[in-house]
Amino acid sequence: MITKSQVGEGAMTVQHRILEAGAVRIHTVEQGSGPLVLLVHGFPESWYSWRRQMPVLAQAGYRAVALDVRGYGRSSKPRDPAAYRMLDLVQDNVAVVRALGETSAAIIGHDWGATIAARSALVAPEVFHAVGILSVPYTPPGGPRPSEVFAQMGGEEEFYVSYFQEPGRAESEIEPDVRGWLAGFYRALSGDTMAGPDPHFVTRDGGTLRERFPAGALPSWLTEEELGFYAAEFERTGLTGALNRYRNMDRDWEDLAPYAGAPIKQPSLFIGGRRDASTMWLSDAVDAYPHTLPGLTGSHLLDCGHWIQQERPDDVNRLLLEFLGSL
Catalytic machinery residues: 111, 306
Distance CA 280, CA 278 (A): 6
Dihedral angle, C-alpha 178, 175, 229, 63, nearest 10 ° = 130
Pairing label, strands 63-67, 105-110: unpaired
Element (H, E) at 88: helix 86-99
Name every residue whose Cβ is closer than 8 Å to that of residue 51 and which is 6 or more positions away in sequence.
none
Biggest distance spanned by C-alpha atoms of the chain = 54
Distance CA 100, CA 33 (A): 12
The residue among 12, 111, 93 whose CA lies nearest residue 56 is: 12
| Per-residue CA distances from 280 to 28, 94, 162, 204, 290 (Å) | 31, 31, 19, 23, 18
The residue among 266, 262, 273, 261 whose CA lies nearest residue 297 is: 266
The verdict on whether omega for the bond into residue 267 sits within 30 degrees of 0, i.e. cis, is: no
Distance CA 140, CA 73 (A): 29
Residue 149 CA, chain-centre distance (Å), reads 21
